[in-house]
Amino acid sequence: MPTIIERLAAETGKKEEYVGNVVTLLDEGNTVPFIARYRKEMHGMMDDQTIRLLAERLQYLRNLEARKEEVKTAIEAQGKLTEELKNAVDGAETLAAVEDLYRPYKQKRRTRATVAREKELEPLADLLFAQEAGCPDPLAAAQGYVDPEKGVETAEKALQGASDIIAENISDDAAVRGGMREYWLARADVFSAAAKKEQEDSVYRNYYKFTSPVTKIAGHQVLAINRGEREGFLKVSVEADREGALSLIGRRVLKKPACASTAFIKAAIEDSYDRLIAPSVEREVRAALTEKACEGAIGQFALNLRPLLMQPPVKGFVTMGLDPGYRMGCKVAVVDGTGKVLSTDVVYPTYGERQKRECIEKLKGHIKKYGVKHIAIGNGTASRETEAMTVELLHELGKDSGVSYIIVNEAGASVYSASPLAAKEFPEFDVNLRSAVSIARRLQDPLAELVKIDPKSIGVGQYQHDMPEKRLSETLDGVVEDCVNAVGVDVNTASAPLLARVAGLNAGVAANVVSYREENGMFTSRKQLLKVPKLGAKAFEQCAGFLRVPESGDVLDNTGVHPESYKAAEKLLELCGYTKSDVKAGNLGHLMERLHGYGEEKAAAACGVGLPTLFDVAKELKQPGRDPREELPPPVLRTDVLEIKDLKPGMELRGTVRNVIDFGAFVDIGVHQDGLVHISEISDRFIRHPSEVLSVGDVVTVWVKEVDEKKGRISLTMKR
């Protein structure tokens, strides 16, 4: 049998040596970001996502091995563990296969077969099931088991009990179970219909008469059907061809040539399938479809979350955040270039023309007083009315004002503003005003602000509330952790929630870092982190490379170079004729040419590191304090607005992708509602999923295909 390492290597296509090293590093308590970034020589340049998938698969295989041992122990305790059964359990490749083998030995609730066994009818069942040449007629054989004292008054009742035992044995047969599962997954169809004869119109109307092969049904269809059934709108079933299924079981169970008990066994097969196998397999298939759909939805959520978190920051500018609303008005917050709150207000642009004029004058005053350059408008209720007011405001300020606006995703802002964290951060502000601050900061540094919110509350998924919560949280937390560590964190300005996402730190240690900073002033070196309570050597090893200390006298403390590689960095500078002063001044323009001239492998040997680490060190030295997000296209800042009535088919527009789902992508084109680019309109080439081409935050060119003003629907295309 292959070992877990061998299986992982085969599944991932990676060398066993590298897989073994990753497993060892994980077992030693190293974090995924640390392994991915600072142990490249050991794992052959795997990225963080590959290592996370490997870690998940490792856990599954270890759970599988543990379950195998539990099953063998349980069967052995019954004195029924044969060498053949032991080998079958050891060779099982999935938990489902292990459970199929264990099924006949599990303690069951009282069944019809249990009752029949209590009546001592098992020998009759075994006799008839053997189907040996010259086997007796079932009715004649049953006569010998008639015993009124045991509740077997007639031969027919004896046969019924024997049939119940045979039906259960067939149902418990691991090969039959496995074969039926494969058959249904390959051949069955999913059906959904309206739960009532005269069903009212609803979002589930497309599924009132719906059929799809199990092999072709899309994940979003499975999740929609499940929710529709849960809410009482749909009746759902999975069905497979009965005759085909019975034929498969018959080939497994019936012996040739036929004998006197063949017809009896065929009837028991039908009973087993109809009463025991089909209902159970239907549940399994639906569970498998749901699990696959959930995994797909969670994976898409993670794909959407990553670019949203990695959106380029618009730093260093005074920003006004507007949290739109009707009844409670529009909340206003002005923050400086570092996110510090300068002013707050509440205005009422939707109450009437007079109130809108008052709103514009008030906002003009804030803009002129504080030098506002950008306005961030939340995309929730009353967003577009607020946008229209903002455009009117900008027109009055004039083009020379240099003020622009952008619609930002406000998902989770209300969750954050009502949280204990927000109350601690802004005790003097009303809950509603806190959300305006969050919206302003989301433009300045999306990552630093969004880490304060539960990732599940950031609306870039589909059916996220139907997902297994633990699995969803683990996946999204992993994405947040990877993004935070890819960017790096300024230890002297970062909030505790942001620090808590750094590899090796948790909420408690992050709070200690902030407390130490408040009590002792700014950190002036990475080594100083070791003085923080509960931040020990292992935590320092994991987090140090991801924390930046701009105030340090050593420029390496403001790079992604890990302290363990400082000597290598200094040696590299020496070999290429540079000093740390050159790093600080940004004078390493010819570093790579000099390194190539010296010889990369020779330099790596002289520095005592592998080539991957050498190249990473060189990259960091060339751009100390580099923010990888700044290399991405900047967000689209606007100064004017369109209305849906302004849109005409064929009109060319620039927009920002707000969400990517199974059947397309929603694009913000500066109109009241986002337009949908259906998957068929994304590319001229065939694509299986929109994520092959688009990511959240992408700035794209689209053309208007169709507009439905009444329903507020905009169809877009990316095909010229």
Structure tokens at 718: 């990316």
pLDDT of residue 201: 80
Say if residues 522 and 558 touch (Cβ distance below 8 Å). Answer: no
Give mean pLDDT, residues 561-577. Answer: 96
DSSP codes joined into one string, 215-261? TT--HHHHHHHHHHHHTTSEEEEEE--HHHHHHHHHHHH--SS--TT
Q: Is the pTM of this model over 0.85?
A: no
Phi/psi of residue 39, nearest 5 degrees: -130, 40
Match 């009973």 to its residue by tokens: 271
Phi/psi of residue 499, nearest 5 degrees: -60, -35
Confidence of residue 133 (pLDDT cuts 50, 70, 90): confident
Angle at 55 between CA 539 and CA 289, to 5 degrees: 135
Say if residues 480 and 451 touch (Cβ distance below 8 Å). Answer: yes
- The boundaries of every CATH 3.30.420.140 domain in the chain are 319-482
- The boundaries of every CATH 1.10.10.650 domain in the chain are 4-105
Phi/psi of residue 207, nearest 5 degrees: -110, 15
319-482 is a CATH 3.40.190.10 domain: no
- The boundaries of every CATH 1.10.150.310 domain in the chain are 519-631
> Which residues are registered as beta bridge partners of 660?
665
The CATH architecture that domain 519-631 belongs to is: Orthogonal Bundle (1.10)
What are the tens digits of pLDDT across the range 267-324? Answer: 999 999 999 999 999 999 999 999 999 999 998 888 888 888 898 999 889 999 999 9
> Which residues are registered as beta bridge partners of 235?
193
Percent of the chain with pLDDT over 70: 99
Task: Give the separation between CA 643 and CA 639, rounded to whole angstroms.
Answer: 14
- The boundaries of every CATH 2.40.50.140 domain in the chain are 644-717
Structure tokens at 510: 């992050």
pLDDT of residue 642: 66
Say if residues 602 and 556 touch (Cβ distance below 8 Å). Answer: no
How far is the CA of 579 from the CAs of 41, 584, 588, 602, in angstroms?
27, 9, 9, 20
pLDDT of residue 323: 93
pLDDT of residue 629: 85
Structure tokens at 185: 């997954």
The amino acid sitting at 416 is: Y
Helix axes 4-12, 16-27, angle to 10 degrees: 120
DSSP codes joined into one string, 597-633? HH-HHHHHHHHTS-HHHHHHHHHHHHSTT--GGGGSP
Please name the residues in contact with 416: beta carbons below 8 A apart, sequence gap of 6 or more.
422, 434, 435, 438, 452, 453
Task: Give the separation between CA 696 and CA 372, rounded to whole angstroms.
Answer: 27
Give mean pLDDT, residues 214-230. Answer: 94
Confidence of residue 388 (pLDDT cuts 50, 70, 90): confident
Task: Give the separation between CA 489 and CA 498, rounded to whole angstroms.
Answer: 8
How far is the CA of 203 from the CAs of 199, 206, 510, 661, in angstroms?
12, 8, 45, 17
Prior bond of 635 cis (ω within 30°): no
> Which residues are registered as beta bridge partners of 708?
713
- Looking at the domain covering 114-188+240-301, what would its CATH class be? mainly alpha
Task: Give the separation between CA 92 and CA 99, rounded to whole angstroms.
Answer: 10
Task: Give the separation between CA 366 and CA 373, rounded to whole angstroms.
Answer: 11
Give mean pLDDT, residues 513-533. Answer: 96
SS (H, E, C) 425-438: HCCCCCHHHHHHHH
pLDDT of residue 234: 94
Least confident of 28-42, 121-135, 157-171: 121-135
Q: Is the model more confident about 33 or about 256?
A: 33
Eight-state DSSP code of residue 313: P
- Looking at the domain covering 4-105, what would its CATH class be? mainly alpha
Task: Give the separation between CA 490 and CA 266, rounded to whole angstroms.
Answer: 73
Phi/psi of residue 524, nearest 5 degrees: -115, 5
Phi/psi of residue 620, nearest 5 degrees: -65, -40
Evaluate the CA torsion angle 83, 84, 87, 92 in order and state its sign: negative
pLDDT of residue 190: 98
Match 């990259």 to its residue by tokens: 619
The CATH architecture that domain 644-717 belongs to is: Beta Barrel (2.40)
Confidence of residue 369 (pLDDT cuts 50, 70, 90): very high
Conformational region of residue 263, where left means phi above 0, alpha means psi within -120 to 50, and beta covers everything else: alpha
To the nearest whole number, what is the mean pLDDT of the chain?
92
Look at residue 634 and tell me whether its pLDDT is greater than 80: no
Reduced to 3 states, what is the DSSP secondary structure of residue 704?
A: strand
Task: Give the separation between CA 558 and CA 551, rounded to whole angstroms.
Answer: 8
Structure tokens at 633: 């296209």
Regarding beta strands 319-323 and 330-335, do their DSSP bridges make them parallel or antiparallel, or are they unpaired?
A: antiparallel
What are the tens digits of pLDDT across the range 447-471? Answer: 999 888 888 777 666 777 788 888 9
Task: Give the separation between CA 640 and CA 469, rounded to whole angstroms.
Answer: 41
Task: Give the separation between CA 530 and CA 603, rounded to whole angstroms.
Answer: 31
Percent of the chain with pLDDT over 90: 72
Structure tokens at 220: 């979003």
Give mean pLDDT, residues 220-247. Answer: 95
Look at residue 539 and tell me whether its pLDDT is greater than 90: yes
pLDDT of residue 710: 80
pLDDT of residue 641: 62
Match 């399938």 to its residue by tokens: 273
Q: Is the model more confident about 632 or about 706?
A: 706
Reduced to 3 states, what is the DSSP secondary structure of residue 405?
A: strand
Task: Give the separation between CA 480 and CA 502, rounded to whole angstroms.
Answer: 10
Please name the residues in contact with 645: beta carbons below 8 A apart, sequence gap of 6 or more.
709
Look at residue 712 and tell me whether its pLDDT is greater than 70: yes
What are the tens digits of pLDDT across the range 158-180? Answer: 999 999 999 999 999 999 999 99
